[in-house]
Amino acid sequence: MMTLRTLTLTVTCVVSLVMPVAQAAPASDPPLPTLVEPNQTQSPSVYAARREALMKAMGDGVAVIYAEGEDDAAGYRQSSDFLYLTGVVERGAILVLAPSERTYREFLLLANRDPEAERWTGEREPLTAALRAKYGFEKVSRSGQLMGLLMDLGSRSPTFWQVMRPRAGGDAKPKDLEIYSKVQARVPGIATKTLGWTLAMMRARHDAQELAIMQRSIRITEEGHRAAWAAVKPGATEGEVRAEAERVWRALGSRRPAYESIVGSGPNATILHYPRSERSMQDGELLLMDMACEYAHYAADITRTLPVNGRFTAEQRKVYDTVLKAQAAAFALVKPGAYYEDLDKAARKVIEDAGYGDYFIHGLGHFVGLDVHDAGAYHRPLEAGMVLTLEPGIYIPEKKLGVRIEDQVLVTANGARILSDGLPRTADDVERWMAERRPTAKR
């Protein structure tokens, strides 16, 4: 029987998790660009072209961009603005751009070496021609040079550009504005201006190579979802399910989850950022899994909701279908020129018309890229190359019932395409997958 054969083939594919993901990914996925190990970055020329575009937008003056990464369980994660412009994964690094200079227009400043610290964290490289070639900069020096360099450049082209979008929260002055003030206190006559949304818009419009990496990030995420779904059954813990996904991502080359995985059953499915994953799931409940990996610094973001025993109840299915319909209503509007607010409104209307208006309590979605909540301007029309999530949800705490369906959508020249198309989405497809692919309860 035809369906059986297809089924067998797919099962083989899913079970072979140790195979490189390239063999599991659909042949139509774009080929991955060459990534430079060990940091999974692209070639230095990719970052040089981005700096060139940013300098074109500046015209003149000087810009300082600080590396402001953070440490997590997987090590140092570079800040995305800095990574986008340099590909340099070093803490304490600083980028200086000065487009009106005649000879050297870009400067990479690195933190001083510390032989004792390097015994613990690994040896860093001296400032040599090899290092300049590796990073694609003609001028590489130490960060102690920053003040002198800025006094020099600022007196020649007296504008300091704020390139990074300021973050809300915290009282600290942004580091770029801080150093600008210090230089301005010594060299009068230098103005401060903002580039506004320039860098955010550059980051939001993904080129073909970035899209190939993002597609791979999604495929690895989907493999993890499938492995996790196979562990879903009454009595299993949320943690077992989550661990399966995270194990598979790591095995396929991902460094870290793109965000703290959310795996919530029954009442926990209604807690938007439920972090603990420690409950045993029960027969008749729903399990919400909002979990995805990061690959080569690019985030994925996918959510699915499954019935723990493999079959939706009538009420669960009604809620599920409403969420799916809301997602479809938003998706139908995605194309260049469309506004995010209108997508949100369309999805909300479907949920309100079905009588669940009070239970959709978050926004429809967000841009995805280097960060899971990526740079982008929600007040501007969508453009080709942008990727956003559509993730409507209905959460009814009094019924211990929560449903969210989240997919990543690429804005194309004429419309849109779902990038996360490798997992079942409709209620029927989900039930079929669970009936056919899930190991029997005996396991």
Nearer to Mn ion, 285 or 371 (CB): 371
- Reading phi first (left if > 0) and then psi (alpha if -120 to 50, else beta), residue 136 is in left
Which one of the spans 17-25, 60-68, 166-174, 300-308 is the region binding Mn ion (CB under 5 A)? 300-308
User: Residue with CB nearest Mn ion?
Assistant: 301
Q: Interaction with Mn ion in 322-381: which residues (CB under 5 A)? A: none
Is there a contact between 176 and 65 (Cβ–Cβ < 8 Å)?
yes
- Print the binding letters for residues 231-270 with Mn ion: x by CB under 5 A, - otherwise: ----------------------------------------
How close are the terminal C-alpha atoms of the chain, in Å? 26
CB of 263 to Mn ion, least distance (A): 15
CB of 70 to Mn ion, least distance (A): 20
Which one of the spans 111-119, 121-129, 156-164, 293-301 is the region binding Mn ion (CB under 5 A)? 293-301
Give the count of residues interacting with Mn ion (CB under 5 A): 2
Among 80, 215, 389, 408, binds Mn ion (CB under 5 A): 389
- Print the binding letters for residues 57-96 with Mn ion: x by CB under 5 A, - otherwise: ----------------------------------------
Nearer to Mn ion, 176 or 290 (CB): 290
CB of 390 to Mn ion, least distance (A): 9
Nearer to Mn ion, 87 or 257 (CB): 257
d(CA 391, CA 347): 9
CB of 389 to Mn ion, least distance (A): 5
Is there a contact between 110 and 80 (Cβ–Cβ < 8 Å)?
no
Nearer to Mn ion, 61 or 393 (CB): 393
Amino acid (1-letter code) at residue 228: A
Nearer to Mn ion, 78 or 389 (CB): 389
Nearer to Mn ion, 367 or 433 (CB): 367
Least Cα distance to 334 among 324, 348, 325, 344 occurs for 344
Q: What is the DSSP string of 242-304?
A: HHHHHHHHHHTT--EESS--EEEEGGGGGSTT-----PBP-TT-EEEEE--EEETTEE---EE
Contacts 24+ apart (CB under 8 A), 181-189: 182/147, 183/147, 183/150, 183/151, 183/154, 184/154, 184/160, 186/151, 187/151, 187/154, 187/155, 187/158, 189/158
CB of 84 to Mn ion, least distance (A): 20
Contacts of 400 (CB under 8 A, 6+ apart): 266, 267, 269, 270, 285
Nearer to Mn ion, 47 or 359 (CB): 359
Which one of the spans 64-72, 217-225, 274-282, 301-309 is the region binding Mn ion (CB under 5 A)? 301-309
CB of 259 to Mn ion, least distance (A): 8
Alpha helices by DSSP H, listed for 59-187, are 80-86, 115-121, 129-135, 146-156, 175-184
Does 223 engage in binding with Mn ion (CB under 5 A)?
no
Tokens of 221: 């995420």
Nearer to Mn ion, 40 or 389 (CB): 389
d(CA 349, CA 315): 20
Contacts of 25 (CB under 8 A, 6+ apart): 215, 216, 219
Least Cα distance to 290 among 200, 194, 132, 407 occurs for 407
Among 90, 176, 285, 301, binds Mn ion (CB under 5 A): 301
Which one of the spans 26-34, 154-162, 273-281, 382-390 is the region binding Mn ion (CB under 5 A)? 382-390
Nearer to Mn ion, 270 or 389 (CB): 389
Positions in the binding site for Mn ion (CB under 5 A): 301, 389
